């Protein structure tokens, strides 16, 4: 039996924009279905929000997302970031971790994902990987990008 996991992100009205941004970063096929497509009256405020969103890239990258109903971006809790003993700590309950085999492929993903992001840990060589970095993107999602140990520099 094979088991796979897919990260599912919950947004507050900007899932469509986030998914389109992630498609620009990772490529792939995007499916987006709005609440209105499932029968919610079009005049209601959440009708255009995403009830089902999925991005699947040829590389194997896959992510799902939706807009939690009746929420706004302003209701999200703030991200807390601190530094302790040279390590970056964040109050986020989860990160999305993306790994690649070569610095070239991860460098390219970092460059695109970092557009409009808050850099938590600058991307570059680390003690444990040829490339590692952490950022919180413009939608408030914290990402770790890393070149696999033994990956080519």
Local confidence pLDDT in tens for the 153 residues of the chain? 555 778 999 999 999 999 999 999 999 999 999 988 878 888 888 899 998 999 999 999 999 999 987 644 444 444 444 444 444 445 555 789 898 989 999 999 999 999 999 999 999 998 778 999 999 999 999 999 999 754 445
Q: How far apart are CA 72 and CA 116, in angstroms?
A: 20
Give me the CATH topology for the region 81-152.
Answer: 3.30.720
Q: Which helix (H) or strand (E) is 87 found in, with range? A: strand 87-90
Longest dimension (CA), the chain: 54
Spatial neighbors of 106 by CB under 8 A, at least 6 apart, are 98, 99, 100, 123, 131, 145, 146, 147, 151
Q: Where in the chain is the domain with CATH 3.30.720.110?
A: 81-152
Task: Identify the DSSP state of 78.
Answer: P
Q: Which residue has the tokens 């302790």?
A: 84
Q: How far apart are the first and last CA of the chain?
A: 35
The closest alpha carbon to 143, from 127, 121, 125, belongs to 121
Give me the CATH topology for the region 7-74.
Answer: 3.30.720
Q: How far apart are CA 118 and CA 90, in angstroms?
A: 12
The closest alpha carbon to 11, from 55, 59, 72, belongs to 72
């Amino acid at each position: 039996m094979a088991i796979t996991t897919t990260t599912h992100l919950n947004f507050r009205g900007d899932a469509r924009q986030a998914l389109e941004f992630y498609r620009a970063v990772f490529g792939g096929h995007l499916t987006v279905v709005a609440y209105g497509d499932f029968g919610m009256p079009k005049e209601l405020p959440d009708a255009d929000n995403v009830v089902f969103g999925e991005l699947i890239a040829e590389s194997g990258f896959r992510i799902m997302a939706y807009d939690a109903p009746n929420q706004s971006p302003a209701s999200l809790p703030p991200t807390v970031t601190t530094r302790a003993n040279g390590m970056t700590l964040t109050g986020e309950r989860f990160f999305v971790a993306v790994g690649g085999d070569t610095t070239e492929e991860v460098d390219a993903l970092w460059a695109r994902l970092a557009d409009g992001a808050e850099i938590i840990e600058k991307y570059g060589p680390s003690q444990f990987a040829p490339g590692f970095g952490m950022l919180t993107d413009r939608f408030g999602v914290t990402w770790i990008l890393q070149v696999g140990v033994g990956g080519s520099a």
